[in-house]
Structure 1
């Protein structure tokens, strides 16, 4: 196991402490969320927690079920007690850039339905300013050229510039989300005002969702070689475990 994998597992172990019996639990998407799912599966072998788990992607659903975790139909669930997820970038205001795996829409739906959202990551995901990782924007495939032009204009109004390209699979095919949409990856380099950019993208008609998660994280656990740092939106404090 690599050092980064170990750090992801350490962050996941901290989040696992917040899982209580009887919870409706949201399972995120990505490599760090997968580390959490593996630890959860190990715990469930020895504890009957009576959890109702929901997945933020088909990938997560398969991964969890392969490890013996039953996934409930989210269409029948209105409220989630706790969601554990990862992030591609985290800034000092605890805003997130997510969607590298293409699950941003479902991730955001589950997060907004959750009483508490805990984000886990290795410390490399903590940045002074969002944007070095390309911002994913999920769009419909009607009027793509017009939508991309509107995204570019919105970005310029928010002080962002950079290339915008439709995501492709490794084989060169057009990438499709679980909902059948496209992803426009926006390589801005930096996003000086995430709140403004999020607001402007929200009003572009062809945009289904974007990867800016503003004010959504309640707690963040960042694993570094010297320990796990805890950031809380409620207290704006940092603790080291």
Structure 2
């Protein structure tokens, strides 16, 4: 079973958590894209009723509409029943690094408020500690990116401005900001670092999601493994 098959497997398993009359937070990324397409098919086939998607990005919104998932905005809902999203790293305590899709701010806003936050990954995303493989994405005000990059040296981190693909210049988020990818030697206390990074003036949000995930579904060659906090 290859990686794409594992992604489809966990996306299909995630559908078991969706019920009628739910508001579902829709994450951004390749694994969640499979989930959105499958969810749309269930809605179109009338296997689910009165289910609405709350997208975390323009990409998720466009895909939801194309797939037949009716969408709502954050100010239209009183509660979010469940949010479904991927992750770039998952540690043994279910702390996450997210943000390779540059949608981390809205992802955190929605997933923090969800009754259940369900994370979909393949086995390669499991790590011994956060920062083992991936940098921490940090969304920053464009005018401040250089001074924030310098300030991150206090944390023994090396940061690079994320540059665009198929466009000139840096990646620009849905919020009109830049992304710094900060590589830390080892993140010992994810929650503490998450708070400290957000206290830097000019930082909008960072990609450490500590103490938020409720369930992680892991795609493996043997099937889907369920991890719970």
TM over 0.5: yes
1:238 — aligned with what?
none
Unaligned runs of 5+ in 2: none
**Structure 1 residues 131-142: aligned runs within 5 Å:** 131=131, 132-142=133-143
Measure how far apart 1:189 and its partner are: 5.0
CA contact (8 A) 1:117 1:217 kept: yes
1:17 — aligned with what?
16
Distance in 1 (CA, whole Å) between partners of 2:151 and 2:7 is 37
1:202 — aligned with what?
198
Distance in 1 (CA, whole Å) between partners of 2:113 and 2:79 is 5
Measure how far apart 1:148 and its partner are: 1.8
2:70 — aligned with what?
70
**Structure 1 residues 72-111: aligned runs within 5 Å:** 72-111=72-111
CA contact (8 A) 2:89 2:126 kept: yes
Q: 2:182 aligns with which of 183, 186, 197?
A: 186
Distance in 2 (CA, whole Å) between partners of 1:39 and 1:223 is 16
2:125 — aligned with what?
125
CA contact (8 A) 1:78 1:113 kept: no
Normalising by structure 1, report the TM-score.
0.89
* Residue 226 (structure 2) pairs with residue 230 (structure 1): yes
Normalising by structure 2, report the TM-score.
0.94
SS in 2 for 1:142: helix
Q: Deviations over 1:20-54 (max 9, x none)?
A: 00001111100010011111112112224211211
SS in 1 for 2:100: coil
Unaligned runs of 5+ in 1: 234-241
Q: Deviations over 1:41-91 (max 9, x none)?
A: 121122242112110000010111111212112222242000010000000
Distance in 2 (CA, whole Å) between partners of 1:77 and 1:39 is 23
Distance in 2 (CA, whole Å) between partners of 1:27 and 1:211 is 17
- The alignment's C-alpha RMSD in Å is 1.4
CA contact (8 A) 1:133 1:189 kept: no
* Residue 53 (structure 2) pairs with residue 57 (structure 1): no
> Where in structure 1 do 4 or more consecutive aligned residues deviate above 4 Å?
none
Q: What is the number of equivalent residue pairs in this alignment?
A: 226
